[in-house]
Structure 1
Amino acid sequence: MSKPRILVIDDERSLVEVLAINLEREGFEVMTAFDGQDGLRQAQVKLPDLIVLDLMLPVKPGLEVCRELRADSRTRDVPVIMLTAKTEETDELVGFAMGADDYVSKPYRMKVLIQRIKTQLNRRRQTEDAKNGDLVVERHGVVIDRHRHRALCNNEELLLTPTEFRLLEALMRQAGRAFTRHELMDAAMGEDAVVLERTIDVHIKSLRKKLNHSADLIETVRGVGYRFRETGLAES
């Protein structure tokens, strides 16, 4: 069985070296890049299983790298964990808006980062290895196909990040149910994810934008969170 391949894109070479050693001890194959342009090139050519991406990078900044990864059909489904020395709330929200699946602030604890990596890989593996059960959900012209990892709206493909895909699937599978933001975070990011509640709002905003004329299928439930419309008509 081949080792999961991790691409670490970070210009702090000493940190990259320590992280690479620890990841290799955990059974991962590690590739490294020290600027955004080289990291993007390696991601597109080598197609890693997961990318650890620093926000502050020379040549091409991390947010731009993340945006281009999500715009490329070869890499848009690869989980991205973003690293940053910044602790501003807006930086985290922007990172998720660009398509990051998780967010870890520097300085980080090595065991915590490695566990986050394993969680993201497990989620991706569960999606790809799903063989049984209801793999396709369709409601109001929106289709989620877990087996092919595709989402459609009125026969047009939706270019979703892995987190957006899981979020939309969770909402659609229990249409009509009002989910709290915490429940949606658990469904889309995992119970061990430490993120802001507003992060879900960012993902919902992005999903609505991609759904275009069907955006109102995701309804805001005041004081609770969100739900996917159960009936064909909007509720008053």
Structure 2
Amino acid sequence: MTDGKKQDFEILVVDDDKDLCHVIVDTMTEQGYRATFVETTEEALKKINLRTPDLLLLDLEVPAMGGFVLCQKIHENPATKRLPIIFLSVRDSDIDRKTAMGLGADFYISKPFRRSVLLKEVENLLTRKPAPDELIGPSATHDPVRATHGADVVRATHASPLQTPALAPRLKALASWSAAHKKYSIPSALAVTAMLVAGSIWFYHAVVTKVIAEKTGVDGAVSVNVIEAAFAPFQDVLSNIGTIKGGSEIELRFQTEGNIQHIFFGNGDAVKQGQAIAVLDQTQSKIKLDRAKQEYFRYEKLYALGGVSKDKLDEAKIQLDYAQSELNKTVIRANQDGIFGGRDASVGEFVTPQKRIGTVVSINNVVVNVGIIEKDIDKIYPDQKVIVTVETYPNVEFKGKVKTVDVIFTGGARTAEVEALLPNEGKLLLPGMYARTKIVVYEKDSVLAVPNDAVEKTEGGHQVYIVNAEGKAEARAVEISYVSLVNSVVASGLEGGEKIIIQNPQDLKAGSAVKIADVEKPVTEASIPDGMQGGPK
């Protein structure tokens, strides 16, 4: 399918996992599709009623009514009963699959899933040409086919080649003929019926034989998908959503009470260290300062003439300094370069030292705070690489490092706060922006990685199946050095260019003849889905 044709298709994602929604929408957009997401079934129904998408990617446990109920409602509506639906769920039971198929879903993919699997099923479904009499909904006939290992995909085949031939019209014709020839009706009907049954059995046998041949090959070879082993950069990340904050945020308050006379800056204005930000009414403070000056000058002259003691002069100087200090308290000055924001006062307003006037934020460097769940916190440590993107500049990556890792878990989700520091030379990152954050927990310049569904555990360690020069499956012992949620890094046992069998069929054995149905691209840094994190083996 060309990118031009893909732009004609609109995909709606319904899932309460916002991070995953962003990943799926970005993936579909990169492929040329138009994609959006909602987080509840109510929002989904509203959006579908306004404009029916071409495909629905639906989570099973989305609030509030759940994926099954939403699927049923969609297919009960004549206007949307033909809307294709792919279920995405962490639930992996046969009951859930059969229920989804019975409600009219087209596919069922178990989480976690590989990006290539989802894209392949989406493209297959959007390019599928339905038969004129095809029904998509609870009344459709489904033939679930389950893939083995890895991401489980259940496909509902709406126009199966194994569907029963149209016997009803033939039997009806037979009944009419028998009625017209009553003399011969019973023996003739029996004979013709026997012929029809024999023909149907022959038809089924032929179709089943064809399907088996297509799946296994005429020579009995097992049909397999493979991936070509190649050394490439590999990166595993923890993805999260955080908030940008200034590298240093200083709240501004007056040190005395009074009425605000001037505020010289508005939100977003750049300020320099030492500049006056706001001023209180200084009338009384200036009067007191003038009096203190006059008193001091008078004592200074008297002291020069010997009319007063040094103590009296010093006391007058203290009073002068105090009056100057009180006047200074009526002015707020910036104590760092930055941006003025969060203005929370107006000219003429009476304020006290407890009242915040605004904040000066330094944005030469910014920080981003994210919450990391308990099971992943041991993967995070200071100075790890952090990659951040924001909605304003979606194609720009801002890079920094982990600064601090909190040791206290808070909230219902039991997360610990991780703070990352990012240089902000172009001043593009501003406080309050939502930041899509990737913390790099594993990174190598050149490794050989394979999907997890290609790796099997053995008593001695791990093994994969490769396709050897004779076209047969060969078991190969491998050493695994790192496992992410979807891929495994192979330290030894494989060579570049070898073809590794993925999604191993149940009937695959060492020595089995195989037929390659599809060759996937090698695992590289770019092919690793966001949020698919793992840990050391």
What TM bracket, shorter-length normalisation? 0.5 to 0.7
Amino acid at match of 1:76: K
Residue 89 of structure 2 is aligned to residue 84 of structure 1: yes
1:73 maps to which of 38, 63, 78: 78
* Aligned equivalents of 1:169, 1:70: Cα separation in 2: 24
- Please name the residue that 1:211 is paired with: none
Aligned to 2:420: none
Q: The residue matched to 2:160 in structure 1 has which SS?
A: helix
Q: 1:17 to 1:170 in 2, by over 3 A?
A: same
2:166 and 2:31 mapped to 1: Cα distance? Answer: 35
**1:150 Cα deviation after fit:** 5.9
Change (3 A) 1:117 1:75: same
Q: CA deviation at 1:45?
A: 2.1
| Structure 2 CA distance for aligned equivalents of residues 7 and 161 of structure 1 | 25
Aligned partners of 2:49, 2:211: CA distance in 1, in Å?
A: 33
Deviations 1:34-80 (A, max 9, x none): 01121122123211111101000111100000001111111111110
Contact 2:134 2:159 in 1 (8 A): no
Per the normalisation by structure 2, the TM-score is 0.27
Pairwise CA distance, 1:122: 1.1
Q: Distance in 1 between matches of 2:93 and 2:102?
A: 15
Retained in 2: the 8 A contact 1:70–1:161? no
Kindly indicate whether the alpha-carbon contact (under 8 Å) linking 1:82 and 1:100 is maintained by their aligned counterparts in 2. Answer: yes
User: 1:172 deviation in Å?
Assistant: 3.7
Where does residue 14 of structure 1 map in the other structure?
19
**Where do 5+ consecutive residues of structure 2 fail to align?**
143-155, 168-198, 215-223, 226-502, 504-537
Q: 1:167 aligns with which of 160, 172, 176?
A: 160
2:57/2:88 contact within 8 Å kept: yes
* 1:95 matched residue in structure 2: 100
Output one character per residue of 1:133-161: Cα deviation in whole Å (capped at 9) or x when no partner.
Answer: xxxxxxxxxxxxx44x467xxxxxx9547
Following TM superposition, by how much is the alpha carbon of 1:173 offset from its aligned partner in structure 2, in angstroms? 7.5
Could you tell me how far apart the structure 1 residues matched to 2:139 and 2:99 are?
18
Q: Of the candidates 13, 23, 40, which is equivalent to residue 28 of structure 2?
A: 23
Q: Secondary structure at the match of 2:159?
A: helix
Richer in helix (by share): 1
1:33 corresponds to which of 27, 38, 47: 38
Work out the CA distance in 1 between the residues paired with 2:9 and 2:45. Answer: 18
Mapped partners of 1:77, 1:4: distance in 2: 15
The amino acid of 2:12's aligned partner reads L
Would the alpha carbon gap of residues 171 and 50 (structure 1) be closer, same or farther in structure 2, given more than 3 Å must change? farther
SS of corresponding position for 1:90:
helix
**Aligned partner of 1:22: which letter?**
T
- Match runs of 1:52-131 below 5 Å: 52-123=57-128, 126-127=129-130
Provide the rounded CA distance (Å) in 2 between the counterparts of 1:169 and 1:47. Answer: 31
Cα distance in 2 between the residues matched to 1:106 and 1:86: 8
Structure 1 Cα separation of the partners of residues 91 and 16 of structure 2: 15
The CA distance in 2 between the partners of 1:15 and 1:25, in whole Å, is 15
Stretch deviating more after TM superposition (40-49 or 67-76): 40-49
TM-score when normalising by structure 1? 0.59
**Contact 1:8–1:52 (CA under 8 A) maintained in structure 2:** yes
Work out the CA distance in 2 between the residues paired with 1:47 and 1:169: 31
Structure number with bigger Rg: 2
Residues 54 and 83 of structure 2 are in contact (CA less than 8 Å); yes or no, is this contact kept in structure 1? yes
Cα distance in 2 for residues equivalent to 1:183 and 1:102? 20
CA distance in 1, matches of 2:164, 2:74: 25
Superposed structure 1 runs of 4+ greater than 3 Å apart: 158-165, 167-175
Q: Answer whether contact 2:90 2:110 (CA < 8 A) is retained.
A: yes
1:229 aligned residue: none
Q: Match for 1:39: what amino acid?
A: A
Give the distance between the partners of 1:74 and 1:159, measured in 2 at CA: 15
| 1:79 counterpart letter in structure 2 | P
CA shift digits 1:111-151 (9 cap, x unpaired)? 1111111111111xx23xxxxxxxxxxxxxxxxxx44x467
Q: Secondary structure at the match of 1:21?
A: helix
Deviations 1:184-228 (Å, cap 9, x if unpaired)?
A: 9x9xxxx99x9xxxxxxxxxxxxxxxxxxxxxxxxxxxxxxxxxx
2:38 aligned with 1:43, yes or no? no
Per chain length, whose mean CA-contact separation is higher, i.e. which structure has more relative contact order (CA < 8 Å, sep 6+)? 2
Aligned-pair CA distance for 1:3: 2.2
In 2, are the aligned partners of 1:50 and 1:78 still within 8 Å (CA)? Answer: yes
Tell me, yes or no, if the aligned pair for 1:5 and 1:29 is still in contact at 8 Å: yes
1:168 deviates by 8.2
Contact kept? 1:54, 1:62, Cα under 8 Å? yes
Preserved contact between residue 76 and residue 161 of structure 1 (Cα < 8 Å): no
Gaps of 5+ in 1: 128-145, 152-157, 195-236
- Kept in 2, the 8 Å contact 1:3–1:27? The answer is no
